[in-house]
Structure 1
Amino acid sequence: MALALFDLDHTLINGDSDLAWGEFMVEQGIADASFLDAHEAYFDQYVQGTLDIDEFLNFALEPLGKHPRQALDNWHQRFMQQKIEPMFQPKAEELLNYHRQRGDVLVIITATNAFVTTPIAQRLNVDQLIATTPEEVNNEYTGKPFGIPCFQAGKVKRLHAWLEQTHHSLAGSFFYSDSHNDLPLLESVENPVVVDPDQQLNQIAEQRGWPVISLR
């Protein structure tokens, strides 16, 4: 039994759930168009590898602090139907089932915050989720991040904290990702697998002989 770790956006799903949440909020009138413009600019920085994760999280999580949890959860149900369901990929679910049949422990590990991603992980029947954590007080979001962002080297730190809590190990481990931002974690597992990669990660995979697959 090994760990099978999966990035979410552009890996298990064909799209970016964080950016899609921004689009949804604008379409629903929860945020104005300037919010999406700024979100897209941050996404471009992510692609280029220049994203200031703390600055981005303070921006992206701020709307969660402006609305009651019940309203957010209701909006998220519509968001799943309208934005996320079209992003699911049959080959991704086949890959998850392959690791289930092996008896592996499935973990989604993502920079996108847990408010957005928890229902997605549940829909994919993956019980273990390691994600950037929005701060909560009395079961309401404050609009601020909490703890170490699950991004770049932070993914490795968050994973090792989880390993200490659960007593799992990286022996025989797999990690599937599309992004060069995940290079620190790809280098930490025994079986890195590159999925529909960005140009930079594709070049690295070719240099290192890592397998490259497509789930699209």
Structure 2
Amino acid sequence: MRSLIIFDLDGTLVHNYASLAWRQYLIENQLTNSRSYEARNKKLQEKFEDGTIGFQEDLAFSLLPIIDMPAEEAKVAMYECGRTCLAPWVLDDAKQVVRDMVAQRGGDDIIVISGFIEYIVEGFAHALGIKHAIGSRFVVRNRYIQPDFDGVPSFGEGKLQRVKEWLADHHRDEGYYDQVVCYANSIYDVPLLEFADVAYAVNPSQQLLPIAEARNWPILYWSDSAELDLSESSLQAWNSPVPTVMHRKLTVFDLDDTLINGDTSVIWREYLQEKGLISDPDFAQKDLEFQRQYAEGTLNLTEYIAFSLTPVADIPAEILERKVRDCVRTCVMPQIFNEAKSLIKTLNEAGEDMMIISATASLIVKAVAEELGIKDAIGVDLAKDDGYYTANVVGIPSFQAGKVQRLKQWLIRHNRYHAYYDNIVFYTDSINDLPLCEFASTVYTVNPCERLRPIAEERGWHILSWGS
């Protein structure tokens, strides 16, 4: 899938405004000697903070010190400002996202867009390894920059128009990209966000937040830099060579009958029986019937959760969690396939990202992941009421297609949805995981059930025999 990624600049990629970086650059490089300019600059900063500055006012004041400077010199100064003063202001989370995307795409198919002066936006983008930048352009007359727009300013509706112009200029009209992805934070960016196939509201403004929520746009909160590093070494870190292709892999494991030679729900039931916590003589038989339904892909998860919690409904959550950890250590871990242990050890040593995702209650899944040294785990989240677990599921249950939804939520929450992983590898045994198999890049079926095996054979998925 070929995607065009569009990043808004101010407040999205950087913690502040490009115009403030420009004015700081002018003052530090003594390109303005006017005390009144510095005083006016402070007033404008106050306007930025309370949101009362106008677009035209900001640009007009920004151009004032260079009106008498030859255009070529002014362009160099602006570009240098973007490269040396603005680029180090990138938010930490944005920095990681951009680096990963640049490594994947070589800087192409990525645009930084801002309403501010294009030469500054270009310097900023190029410092990050991004080839394309869109900003407001100004007329050059008699070798001097004039405070008149050259074409449509890239602000509000103008951003969308400029993107469309860019697509036409680069011969990338309709159909060239499978999707357009936009990251922005401002109410003024709504036209561009609406144009995108995938829209992310990054640190959204108060005006944008309710719109993003109403339209179900994912909301990302990217953290600020610990401090502003304007040193040359900081810039060299941005400009250091990166591979054109970065192979980053996420390995996702199903739990029951995949990592474990058995089912954690059955192991947990046997543990409770051994501890004398199950009084119903028919509980085991009923549990086996639910397991049969699961194997056939007909399980009603809500009914099963309500049933499985019956023996422990009166146990406080804190005590129950201790019992779960004891069960995992003493009963579950001895059932881990040796092949699984070896694979997890290898992946950990290689620094690979791993996750367990299961339709089992998350308090069990997370306990297993912790024992195995796997950082991330997704299970069915159960609500608590007055210190006790209930049968009420919080959010989407990680069962069947819900596993895909939960994984997507995790990817978005960790800013890893687009181009971060070039390979998602999934290990499973169950027909219930067919949706996640189809979502993954690479599939390994572990001792696949009789319904999954023929599908795996037909689609060329790997088939492993563990524990044999």
**Residue 109 of structure 1 is aligned with which of 353, 357, 360?**
357
CA contact (8 A) 2:357 2:403 kept: yes
Partner of 1:18: 265
- Mapped to 1, the partners of 2:273 and 2:391 lie a distance apart of 17
- TM superposition shift of 1:138: 5.0
CA contact (8 A) 2:277 2:312 kept: no
- TM superposition shift of 1:81: 4.1
Partner of 1:190: 441
TM-score normalized by structure 2?
0.44
Q: Does 1:9 align with 2:256?
A: yes
- Mapped to 2, the partners of 1:164 and 1:73 lie a distance apart of 28
Partner of 2:430: 179
- Mapped to 2, the partners of 1:209 and 1:140 lie a distance apart of 46
Structure 1 residues 77-135: Cα deviation after superposition (integer angstroms, max 9, x where no partner):
44234421320222101111232344321000000101222211111001100111111
What letter matches 1:128 in structure 2? D
Which of the two has higher C-alpha Rg?
2
What letter matches 1:88 in structure 2? I
Partner of 2:454: 203
What letter matches 2:369 in structure 1? A
**Which is worse superposed, 95-104 or 35-44?**
95-104
**Residue 385 of structure 2 is aligned with which of 128, 137, 144?**
137
Q: Does 1:148 align with 2:402?
A: no
| Higher relative contact order, chain-length normalized (CA < 8 Å, sep 6+) | 1
**Residue 321 of structure 2 is aligned with which of 73, 82, 104?**
73
CA contact (8 A) 2:251 2:354 kept: yes
Q: In proportion to residue count, which structure has more helix? A: 1
Could you say what secondary structure the match of 1:75 adopts?
A: helix
CA contact (8 A) 2:356 2:365 kept: no
- TM superposition shift of 1:48: 1.0
What letter matches 1:197 in structure 2? P
**Which is worse superposed, 81-90 or 18-27?**
81-90
CA contact (8 A) 1:7 1:110 kept: yes
Partner of 1:39: 287
- Mapped to 2, the partners of 1:206 and 1:37 lie a distance apart of 34
Structure 1 residues 47-89: Cα deviation after superposition (integer angstroms, max 9, x where no partner):
1111111211222234443211233234224423442132022
CA contact (8 A) 2:317 2:389 kept: yes
Q: Does 1:212 align with 2:463?
A: yes
CA contact (8 A) 1:66 1:143 kept: no
CA contact (8 A) 1:62 1:144 kept: no
**Residue 275 of structure 2 is aligned with which of 4, 7, 28?**
28
**Which is worse superposed, 61-70 or 187-196?**
61-70
- Mapped to 1, the partners of 2:455 and 2:356 lie a distance apart of 23
CA contact (8 A) 2:329 2:371 kept: no
Partner of 1:128: 376
CA contact (8 A) 2:365 2:378 kept: no
Structure 1 residues 154-201: Cα deviation after superposition (integer angstroms, max 9, x where no partner):
101111111110122453110000111100000001101111111111
Partner of 2:131: none
What letter matches 1:182 in structure 2? D
**Which is worse superposed, 8-17 or 133-142?**
133-142
Partner of 2:413: 165
Query: Could you list the runs of 5+ residues in structure 2 that have no partner in the other structure?
Result: 1-247
- Mapped to 1, the partners of 2:386 and 2:399 lie a distance apart of 26
What letter matches 2:292 in structure 1? D
What letter matches 1:193 in structure 2? Y
TM-score normalized by structure 1?
0.92
- Mapped to 1, the partners of 2:438 and 2:311 lie a distance apart of 35
CA contact (8 A) 1:114 1:133 kept: yes
